[in-house]
Structure 1
Amino acid sequence: MTDMLGSALSGLTAYQRALSTTSHNIANANTDGYSRQTVSLSSRTPEQLGSLTLGSGVQLSSVQRAYDQYAVTQQRSTTASYNQQQTLHALSSRMDNLLSDSEQGLSPALSKFYDSIQAASTDPSSLAARRELLANGSTLAARFQGIDNEFAGINEEINNRISASVNEVNGLSKRIADLNMTISRTVGQGGQPNDLLDQRDAALLELNQIVRVSTLEQKDGSMSVFVGNGQPLVLGSKPNTLQVTTNRFDPTRAEISFAGQGEISGSIEGGSLGGAMAFRDDVLTPARNQLGLLANQMASAFNEQHAQGTDLRGDVGGDFFSIAAIEPQVSRNNTGNATLAVTVSDSFALTGDAYVLRQTDTGWQLRNDVNNQVISLTGDGSAANPLSAQGFSMVVSGNAATNDEFLITPTGLSARSVAVAITDPAKIAAAGNDASAGPGDNRNMLAMAGLESRKILTNGSATLSDGVQAMLGKVAATTRSAQVGAASQGTLLAQATARRDEVSGVNLDEEAANLLRFQQAYQASAQVASVANSLFQTMINAFR
């Protein structure tokens, strides 16, 4: 009877825990990231009575969570990809709308400026027509400045996004490290921390919404987390802290580094953070450089042509537009005292790209900062023999140490600084520069109007209008590609989530059936205990 009572009590204990597990599943049916838990029952070690082997009841051997590592990994990966494409599309759409605006875009202002040149050419002595030309020129310059200011504002927003994302990543890294500590302690004591594992998976999924990470499970149950090119974000119970730093050349450009270690911005991908940085590197910076190139070469072309005419007073035309000089940026890591002066030697050879000039053991090296291509240099950097390449010249003063660097963006300040240099309408050089020039002469004005169809960009490769359309087209193409990518990754994410839920999700109908099944087993065990107790009492009474 004691064996009977023991078996009954083991059943009561086992099915009570099974009922607790089922109720736990039901309670968390709508909890994000929760994995359904299942009980595993096994018979207890039987007792040997002579030649007989008698069973001793049931025991709860384990409580496992329904889990598919492949499905979870796929969900994390597609989450990172979807959030990157979604962020890239949202930011690129803003750029696309800004540049293609039919009222505030660059193309309308450029067309009005050309129209006013044509109008002034029909009556070159009219001061009213000349004032209209100056007004439309100022409007065009203001449009360049306004768009560049918008770009600067978006860049500042990206900086804020990076800062907020880094704080979120650090918070999640600490949470994962704390969970690792508790999980490894529980595993070491022989436990199965199912709910803690779900919490850690949820934190990893949230982390992948911000940035793509890879993971490696350790023998003690902890999970190592890596970011970028394999840099450790979490090792066991120790999180590594990310921090926001400034670019070594540009203090207005935020970068990401490990605390006390190197910069990892170039290896960040996936998630909203990866999308923001991809937008900045692949859309914003190239568009801003192209905008500067358009402003620079428009101003250069008009100034060059304007200088070939004479104004109403018979004077040779001066600059029609003004633009800022090139200001090279010094790396904060430089240890030498060298300074760099950069001047434009051929405006129409400029490309709009940025360049890094670096002092090596064998001399100065120039490389394109966009495609990392090494550019051939001539000269030695002295005032008598400047370093020259890509339409600009460089004079080095002072002593440069090995690995000292300078960033050169020849057209970087052009869009924000371009302005009409003439205030007196009589100063517009509409006439030719010869003896036959007079107040009604419009030869130079017609030549300036002809710049609309002249290929002046980058050594005659395209017109200004072509350059504007190329800039718009690239942004539009990126926007469309990101839109398609976001839709595609959204579908894959929905499929991955459904696949994970098929394995780990709670089915309330199934849990209701389990609840009834375990309840009946519990009640039956209770009945067995009652019978065992009754038999025991009968035996006691028989010997009383």
Structure 2
Amino acid sequence: MSVSLFSSLSLGDRTLRAINVGLAVTGQNIANATTEGYHRQRVDMRPGQPTDHVQYQMGTGVEVRRIERVIDFALEQLILESRASAGNLETLRSAYLRLESIFNEFSDADLSAALNNFFCAVEDLSQRPEDGGARAALVSAGAQLADTFRSLANRITQARAAVDAGIQTAGDDINRYLEEIADLNRHIMISEDGGLAESKANTLRDRRGALLERLSELIEVTAHEQSTGSIIVYAGSDVLVYGDNAEKLELTTGFEGGINITEVRVASTGKSISAYGGKLAGLMEARDEVLGSYLEQVNTLAKELVGQFNFVHTQGRGTANYETVSSVIAVTDAEAFLYNAGLDFEVRNGSFNIYQVSADGTETRHNIKLDLDRIGGDDTTLNGLANAINTEFEVTPGSGDYRIEARVVGGRLEIHSRVPGMEFTFGEDSTGVLAALGINTFFSGKDAFSIDINPVVESNPGFVAAAQSSAPGDNSNAQMLAGLRYERLMRDGTSTFESYYEELIGALAAESATLQDQYANQQILRDQALNERDAISGVSIDEETINLVTYQRMFQATARYIAIVNDLLNTLISMV
């Protein structure tokens, strides 16, 4: 009988020990109710191993098998995916909001207003072609338009640079998280004896899970647990963490479009990380395909405006004539065919006219032909063009004495009069070479960054080419310039300059609204997954309070049980 009483005391002892573990776990849950990444823990209790008797088995109370996390692994993977999608969409959404902010910054004097003011000034000049005030107003409106283009391009570029800095930060963060996850893998394998131990390193696993969630916001990953307790982390088919080994992302920086461009690749495979989701892929898409795309469209508008306006401008003349002029643009090689000489605008086979204007006002037309048919290997170079002009204006063939002389200096074509009182002007250029070189043009530049007023026109608005002859009141070229406003020269002949910009703004608003909706929907999905996890793995203070009361009652009952057994033992001993 005494053996049975001592066994009863042992049963009570084991019960108190189990209750103590339960109380400790409950306290741990309450303490970490708001801790990031913490999963509620519970005590896995089971009946103790019974003892065999002749006619029955006697229970030995309760024993703690292990302390386990309450976790749904499928839900955890869903949360990783939802965080990656939300991180990606939030980044793109921010890029569109930044773009809208940039375009709205110019709302009082935006590009649309600047284009309207510019073409209104052109139309005003067409009605008053000899009015110096109308010419000055056009130059001023053109300068304002160019400044708006440059400001817009620079603001978008600054936004791209900020996004690129974010790419570098995200890449560094990913590398740090991968190293930390690999290190936790090592500690977990040691703590769990390579998966052989019954107990689990719950705290280390929670830390690893929290890091995995932070990582998933930056890059979409999947995680597979091994029997050793470590996890393999994948991004697509690339292994980023295996055991205690971490892959490294390689960040390389180039220079493009006036900013640093960071590329991120998996070091061992060279695969671009942009192929995967998450914030990092969103940043790269925002820099290149969102901000980069709209910058390209603004550049396209500026280039087409410069090219088309200058081409028409070179067909005419102003109220002032040239004594000397130098091309704004320099070629890369004066001996290269002009279409291979690094010019930004197209040149083609044809001719242009130089009008020699004598001191008495007499005009003589000289036609300069360019061979740019790409046949026979004898096409015109810049040096060849200078020679053709000199040949045309040579006083006596072979004399080397020119009325008007052309030469190439530093890759630029310079033309000047060698006869006192003699001037010259240009017209009827079918080749586009004057516009490409920046001679007799209104604008300079090739895109939104470089667009400006030709310095010659800026210093003397008399060079604004409103006429195509010296006849008083000739406004024919100004009318052609004004007509460019209504020509469909953009998007393969479907849009005018102004409608192109309006379509750009409309597309931006539509795409931004779509991203807003997608992000809102993804937030709902992410929050649903997080709420579901909270219901399963989160700590409920109410539930833990109930557990505390339960353990308290168990402790009281067990203590009473031990006291009774102890009284019985004392009674037995007193009988001896």
TM value normalised by structure 1 = 0.80
CA deviations on 1:52-111 (whole Å, 9 max, x unpaired) are 422222101222222112222222222221222222112211212322432242111111
- Report whether the alignment pairs 1:253 with 2:258: no
Amino acid at match of 1:222: S
Root-mean-square deviation (CA), in Å? 3.1
Q: Classify the secondary structure of the residue corresponding to 2:44.
A: strand
> 1:493: which partner in 2?
526
- Report whether the alignment pairs 1:240 with 2:235: no
CA separation of 1:28 and 1:14: change in aligned 2, threshold 3 A: same
> 1:209: which partner in 2?
217
Distance 1:486 1:506 in 2: 29
| Alignment map for 1:20-99 (pairs within 5 Å) | 20-99=24-103
CA deviations on 1:328-351 (whole Å, 9 max, x unpaired) are xxxxxxxxxxxx964456389xxx
| Alignment map for 1:85-484 (pairs within 5 Å) | 85-100=89-104, 101-188=106-193, 189-227=197-235, 229-247=236-254, 252-259=260-267, 261-271=269-279, 273-313=280-320, 342-344=342-344, 346=346, 414-421=447-454, 422-423=457-458, 424-433=460-469, 437-457=470-490, 459-484=492-517
Q: Classify the secondary structure of the residue corresponding to 1:42.
A: strand
CA separation of 1:302 and 1:71: change in aligned 2, threshold 3 A: same
CA separation of 1:66 and 1:311: change in aligned 2, threshold 3 A: same
Greater mean alpha carbon deviation, residues 458-467 or residues 422-431: 458-467
Distance 2:332 2:68 in 1: 66
Deviation at 1:263, TM superposition (A): 4.7
Q: Classify the secondary structure of the residue corresponding to 1:457.
A: coil
Amino acid at match of 2:266: F
CA separation of 1:196 and 1:324: change in aligned 2, threshold 3 A: farther
Amino acid at match of 2:213: L
- Report whether the alignment pairs 1:8 with 2:12: yes
> 2:423: which partner in 1?
none
Q: Classify the secondary structure of the residue corresponding to 2:46.
A: strand
Distance 2:231 2:160 in 1: 35
Amino acid at match of 2:161: E
CA deviations on 1:410-449 (whole Å, 9 max, x unpaired) are xx9622111111221111110124xxx4342211111101
> 2:395: which partner in 1?
none
**Residue pair 1:307, 1:318 contacting (<8 A) in 2 also:** no
**Residue pair 2:306, 2:446 contacting (<8 A) in 1 also:** no
> 2:538: which partner in 1?
505
**Residue pair 2:95, 2:291 contacting (<8 A) in 1 also:** no
CA separation of 1:383 and 1:102: change in aligned 2, threshold 3 A: farther
Amino acid at match of 1:298: L
**Residue pair 1:44, 1:58 contacting (<8 A) in 2 also:** yes
Distance 1:276 1:468 in 2: 25
> 2:567: which partner in 1?
534
Amino acid at match of 2:509: A
CA deviations on 1:125-175 (whole Å, 9 max, x unpaired) are 111211111111111112111111112211210111011111221222222
Distance 1:532 1:269 in 2: 65
Distance 1:42 1:260 in 2: 49
For structure 1, which runs of at least 5 residues remain unmatched after alignment?
A: 328-339, 349-377, 387-411
**Residue pair 1:326, 1:342 contacting (<8 A) in 2 also:** yes
> 1:362: which partner in 2?
none
Amino acid at match of 1:512: T
Distance 1:28 1:107 in 2: 57
Distance 2:48 2:98 in 1: 67
CA separation of 1:325 and 1:234: change in aligned 2, threshold 3 A: farther
CA separation of 1:413 and 1:529: change in aligned 2, threshold 3 A: farther
Which entry has the higher C-alpha Rg, 1 or 2? 2
CA separation of 1:441 and 1:503: change in aligned 2, threshold 3 A: same
> 2:425: which partner in 1?
none
CA separation of 1:383 and 1:3: change in aligned 2, threshold 3 A: farther
Q: Classify the secondary structure of the residue corresponding to 2:260.
A: coil
TM value normalised by structure 2 = 0.75
**Residue pair 1:299, 1:323 contacting (<8 A) in 2 also:** no
**Residue pair 1:170, 1:242 contacting (<8 A) in 2 also:** yes
Deviation at 1:241, TM superposition (A): 2.1
Distance 1:324 1:184 in 2: 67
**Residue pair 1:311, 1:317 contacting (<8 A) in 2 also:** no
**Residue pair 1:14, 1:60 contacting (<8 A) in 2 also:** yes
Distance 1:462 1:430 in 2: 25
CA separation of 1:42 and 1:313: change in aligned 2, threshold 3 A: closer
Deviation at 1:484, TM superposition (A): 0.9
Deviation at 1:315, TM superposition (A): 6.5
CA deviations on 1:510-530 (whole Å, 9 max, x unpaired) are 211111111111222222222
